[in-house]
Amino acid sequence: MGVPVLKQSGVLTPLKTYKVTYTVLELTQGDVRARCGNTFADTLVTSDGTYTDIVTCTTNGDFSLWSYSGYLKCKIDNVCVLELNS
């Protein structure tokens, strides 16, 4: 299942949809995936680049970035989470 590598609790609204964008730099180990509430984004990041996902938040208002492999060696920059209009 992995481990959170960045987490902010209570910043999202359950049942709302968000556009999540972030940049991964110098990734040499591991992987990363965004999570809103208990819903993971579709994109599993394994290389450098800027990534965007649309995710509907469920069960709680937590936002996090997870490493499925359980470890991560990289820089994460420009994290932006925007609520989309319903």
Is the model's pLDDT at 86 over the cut of 80?
no
Is the model's pLDDT at 8 over the cut of 90?
yes
Is residue 1 a contact partner of residue 13, using CB atoms and an 8 Å limit?
A: no
Non-local (6+) Cβ contacts of 18 within 8 A are 12, 36, 54, 55, 56, 57, 63, 81, 82, 83, 84
Predicted local confidence at residue 71, as pLDDT: 84
pLDDT (tens digit per residue) in 46-70: 999 999 999 999 889 999 999 988 8
In this prediction, what percent of the chain has a pLDDT beyond 90? 84
- Domain boundaries in the chain? 3-83
